[in-house]
A and B are shown apart, each in its own frame.
Chain A
Amino acid sequence: MLLTVKNLKKYFPQKSGLFSKPALPIKAVDDCSFTLEKNEVLGLVGESGCGKSTAGRCILRLTEPTAGSIHFDNRDLLALSSGELKDIRKTMQIIFQDPLSSLNPRMTVGGIIEEPLIVHHRGSPIERKEAVAALLDKVGLPQSALNRYPHEFSGGQCQRIGIARALALKPQLIIADEPVSALDVSIQAQIINLMIALKEELSLSYLFISHDLSVVKHISDRIAVMYLGKIVEIGPAQQICLDPLHPYTKALISVIPEPSLHRSQKKTILQGDIPSPARPPSGCAFHTRCPVAKEECKKREPILEEKRSGRSVSCLYVNKKV
């Protein structure tokens, strides 16, 4: 197992006013557990604000988790000193959502890609230059990009620069935090295909975070669906898309636009807004919007348990058939 996340929690404390009651913390990630194997792609999907990006950043310790444990390559990430943390960042990298703003506008593309090599003392200056040239090649950018600045490139090209930067240290795990959400559809396909090709070539593992199920479906081996800080369903991508078990997953799958003449499924449009992660509903957090909720759902909180082989669902009304 490359990555094992257990009971991960991230609560953001809220400032309370002088005369108001102490504010409840925002439970961005509330008790999430999942694993990722070597050379596997785990898709993490959910609506905006459900905590998927926070979960990704906690794994890299770009934000400090409140509780839980994260094991990477059999090392406890939360117990690392800052020196060890710097060391392990060589093996885990992240691709960000906004390709342009996540690149320093004052640095040349060459400088951006080379900097990780400098701070981790990889190679001589000449070797580093060669490595940067090879990386540009790998992500399909011309060598002329070296001395140019990020703003001279399109969104898709910027994301290629971001990928080259993430690959510079030859990591094992890449957390892709909505890597294609800011790109238009034809460019999305290019970047996704590039990521798939790189994964095969360099035997990478991805934690692929997105709100777009159709993208996640295409790249992932397994999919985890998050709602309000919790994972409600996790399992092999194929099965989840063909036969979703959790009512929330069902609703998400049903609204994927299909380029077909015959609508096969009825769309389930969820009513209402996402409840506040500071005050999640009692019982099953999804019961306020669930089309099949019953009285019981308000009282009893379901736990994420294996309902089919390799598939876990957190719903009181999905029967076990292992």
Chain B
Amino acid sequence: MLSYIIRRIIQAIPTLFGVTLVTFIVFNVVGGDPVYQMVGKGAGQKEIDALRRELGLDRPLYQQYFFYLKQITTFDFGRSYATKQKISQMIKEGMGPSLSLAVPAFFFGSILGIIISLLVALYRGKLFDRLTVVLSVAGMSVSVLAYIIAGQYYLAYMSGLFPISGWEPGLRGVPFLVLPGLIWVIVSLGSDVRFFRTVMLDEINQDYVRTAYAKGLGKYRVLFRHVLKNAMIPIITRLVIAIPFLYTGSLLLENFFSIPGLGSMSINAINSSDFPVIKAITFIGALLYVGGNIVTDICYALADPRVRLK
């Protein structure tokens, strides 16, 4: 097991190397010149050259790339072009708001999705099942924007149940998170339930389930002890793959609800061609994604005795 993990980590290095190469090429080679945007109109060539030298953009590309690699390996991503803040500091500050929205919403959404899909699988073909499928498809078909606008207008502005938008640190921030969290759950529930339902139906028709009924087990014991355990592999895959995306939060939700998380930060950085920030966020995302894949494989081995990691 340990040797497997070490080998997987070593295998991940070329992947991450590829990611750095692509992001570097996209931003530094074909991405246009950020200097023009920074200095504004009417700046002289002297100013432009000075800024370029300051940012290290006058050096040959390979040197710039090695500098970027050095930044990545030391987790010191330099400073933002736009705000001049240290990027590592910005990420540290943005992570809190992002995670406090994403983690509870993801957690409740997933649990709810699993429970609904188990019940739906049990009552397959009945009214409850069909209704849930129809609602899921309807929920998936409506854009997030519609939920955001309707939520902010009816639930926040008209009835005043929630603040419209905003953010405060600590426990005082909780009211601000309820509405975006709710929208997150609703948006993810549709596709989650559809996916989990298929997984559960696959299992519920297996021979060992019939054996369990023949033993004289009740349907809830069959459902939770037998079906759910066996359905765990595809469920784990889907959930763990989603985890890396939690750190960037939801771009749209954070933006619309003025939550100062990494999602808002990414959008601002893209708007102002703040390349170092985008590169940092992209790289950390890739790192978490690769890590998440390794964690998924380890979870397989823990969840299923037939899986041996070699």
Contact = CB atoms under 8 A, between A and B. Distances in A.
Interface of A: 60, 62, 86, 89-90, 93-94, 96, 98, 101-107, 115-116, 119-120, 149, 151, 162, 165, 169
Given A96-B210, A98-B207, A116 B215 contact: yes
A89 B203 CA distance: 23
Contacts of A165: 211, 215
A301 to B, nearest CB: 34
Given A101-B207, A119-B217, 20 more contacts: A62-B210, A62-B213, A62-B214, A86-B216, A89-B216, A98-B207, A101-B208, A102-B208, A102-B210, A104-B208, A104-B211, A104-B226, A104-B230, A105-B230, A106-B226, A116-B215, A119-B216, A151-B305, A151-B306, A169-B216
Given A105-B306, A106-B305, A93 B207 contact: no
Nearest to A104: B208
A165 B296 CA distance: 33
Contacts of B206: 101
Given A96-B207, A98-B207, A119-B221, A105 B214 contact: no
A62 B304 CA distance: 28
DSSP class of B's interface residues: helix, strand, loop or mixed? helix
Nearest to B219: A82
B40 interface: no
B60 interface: no
DSSP class of A's interface residues: helix, strand, loop or mixed? loop
26 contacts: A62-B210, A89-B214, A94-B214, A96-B207, A96-B210, A98-B207, A101-B206, A101-B207, A102-B208, A102-B211, A103-B208, A104-B208, A104-B212, A105-B230, A105-B305, A106-B305, A115-B212, A119-B215, A119-B216, A119-B218, A119-B221, A120-B216, A149-B306, A151-B306, A165-B211, A169-B216
Given A101-B207, A105-B304, A115 B230 contact: no
Contacts of A115: 212, 215, 217
B7 interface: no
Interface in B37-58: none
Nearest to A151: B306
Interface residues of B, number: 19
Nearest to A87: B216
Contacts of B226: 104, 106-107
B86 interface: no
Contacts of B304: 105-106
Nearest to B213: A62
B217 A149 contact: no
Nearest to A149: B305
B233 to A, nearest CB: 10
A98 B216 CA distance: 19
Contacts of B230: 104-106
Nearest to B230: A106
- A-B CB proximity, top 5 nearest: A89-B216, A102-B207, A101-B207, A104-B208, A116-B215
A47 to B, nearest CB: 22
A162 to B, nearest CB: 8
A101 B202 CA distance: 13
A86 B305 CA distance: 30
A105 B305 CA distance: 8
B124 interface: no
Nearest to B208: A104
Contacts of A94: 214
B70 interface: no
Of A60, A86, A98, A102, which is in contact with the most chain B CB atoms at under 10 Å from its CB? A102
Contacts of B207: 96, 98, 101-102
A89 B214 CA distance: 7
Contacts of B306: 105, 149, 151
Of B213, B230, B305, which is in contact with the most chain A CB atoms at under 10 Å from its CB? B305
Contact of B208 (A62, A105, A169): A105
A94 B207 CA distance: 12
A103 B211 contact: yes
B305 A96 contact: no
B229 interface: yes
Nearest to A93: B214
Nearest to B232: A106
Contacts of B216: 86, 89-90, 116, 119-120, 169
Interface string B102-124: 00000000000000000000000
Contacts of B221: 119
Nearest to A98: B207
A105 B229 CA distance: 10
